[in-house]
Amino acid sequence: MLTVYNTLTRQKEEFKPIEPGKVCMYVCGMTVYDLCHIGHARMLTAFDVIYRWFVASGYDATYVRNITDIEDKIIKRAAERGILPQQLVEETIADMRQDAAALGLLSPTFEPRATQHVPGMVALIEKLIANGKAYAADNGDVYYAVREFEGYGKLSGRTLDKLRAGERVEVDPHKRDPLDFVLWKAAKPGEPSWDSPWGPGRPGWHIECSVMSCHHLGEHFDIHGGGEDLQFPHHENEIAQSEGAHGHQYVNYWLHNGFINVDGEKMSKSLGNFFTIRDVLGHFDGEVIRFFIVRSHYRSPVNYTDSILVDAKHGLTRLYTALRGLELPAAAGIDWKDPFAARFQAAMNDDFNSSEAVAVLFELAGEVNKSRDPRQARLLKDLGGVLGLLQRDPEEFLKGGVGDDELSAEAVEALIQARKDARASKNWAESDRIRDELTAKGIVLEDGAQGTIWRRA
């Protein structure tokens, strides 16, 4: 039985899909104006693992992750660079997909862009006006009347009396109430715009996800996810829009991943502790970053430091080392009755507890190291694959290097050969010097009956 923590009810619940055997999940994706940062990596990886677990559990899973390709930040950044917003969007999407590939993310089933769904947004806004939940102001903007939606605040737990205007919305004199949020923005000179019954303009941020999710998954679906910073106002506003328009429940289960902190503090450009995924990939393998994220429960806060990433590299190295030198049988599907697999399954069925699942991988790796049983190694590789891990050739991972200061594999092999030649001529001093040089460069040598093998420390 799969249980999930539902932010809406603030408790774990048995997961019961609307349609047996199928699951529909929507996750708020990227606003494409800049490189993704390490906090985005947490969100993207967390829901990639959740999606993978549904597939591994036999569900017919539909995963929708949107792209916001029109927004104030995009327009501002494009103007700063002197390019068109669409050019910035395409460049940033290409960068995002490159980072996603490095992290081993599966492609979502659908990846809609906001600009592809503007007519649907106009139609939904018209419906909200007809239902008395929205109004057109005399400046061409359209606002949602928050106090007209009785359930406002049920996701975040905030009462109307304590709420302030949304973080991304400026208080506007054209609003009837300071809490009201914009659904449609009247066009400003030089900005992208679309025709509407209220004049040229563009959609507000919140309306986008209500339309894209319903377009692909229907007016009522199973799971909506995103970072915990989106609970209010974004997800709260999505509920108000969707339920205000359609008159029934929008989503059954709301899932939110925790933050990544840097050295114990919230990541912020102003604090100088802001890291893009591209920054971190300059020093660590993408699978190491993924492992760092996966070994923590998706709802828990995670602290990022270089030393923690180094520790994650050591942990992943231990798992790959267990697979080294074994010829694995062909994949035949996971036998969930196996004791290790059963414990892994129980962990993942407990609100996708990948932390406990990784602990099972380490125990299984210990057994593989003792038994050198190819069947156990196959299970280790297959269970790792459920988390998006351990799918490379062990030699590729163990000998792979990242960063300008890393010796190339070819350079390491050349030094190992030079050491072998020195030993053959009984030049022990030179042999030791070469070994010390490799050790200083983070190369671990293991001499055995079959010769010398190596890995990066």
Q: What is the pLDDT of residue 29?
A: 97
Name the pLDDT band for 106 (thresholds 50, 70, 90).
Answer: very high
Tens digit of pLDDT for each residue in 367-397? Answer: 999 999 999 999 999 999 999 999 999 999 9
Distance CA 227, CA 30 (A): 11
φ, ψ dihedrals at 183, nearest 5°? -105, -35
pTM of the complete model beyond 0.75? yes
Contact 99, 277 (CB under 8 A): yes
Q: What confidence tier does 165 reach under pLDDT thresholds 50, 70, 90?
A: very low
* pLDDT, tens digit (0-9, with 9 covering 90-100), for 28-75: 999 999 999 999 999 999 999 999 999 999 999 999 999 999 999 999
pLDDT for 109-138, tens place per residue?
Answer: 999 999 999 999 999 999 999 999 999 999
Q: Looking at residue 404, what is its pLDDT?
A: 54
Q: Is the peptide bond before 233 cis (omega within 30 degrees of 0)?
A: yes
C-alpha to C-alpha distances, 214 to 31, 45, 204, 239, 253, nearest whole angstrom: 19, 24, 17, 12, 15
Residue 238 annotated as part of some ligand binding site: yes
In this structure, what token pair is assigned to residue 295? 């070994």
Q: Which residue type sits at 176?
A: R
Q: Which residue has the higher pLDDT, 163 or 408?
A: 408
Q: What is the mean pLDDT of residues 162-183?
A: 73
As a whole number of angstroms, the distance between CA 385 and CA 404 comes to 30
pLDDT at 256 over 80: yes
Per-residue pLDDT band for 142 (boundaries 50, 70, 90) equals very high
Say whether 24 counts as a known binding-site residue: no
* Of 450 and 336, the one with more pLDDT: 336
Per the annotation, does 209 bind a ligand?
A: yes
Q: What is the mean pLDDT of residues 412-438?
A: 84
Is the pLDDT score of 431 beyond 90?
no
Determine the Cα–Cα distance for residues 226 and 245; give it in Å rounded to an integer. Answer: 22
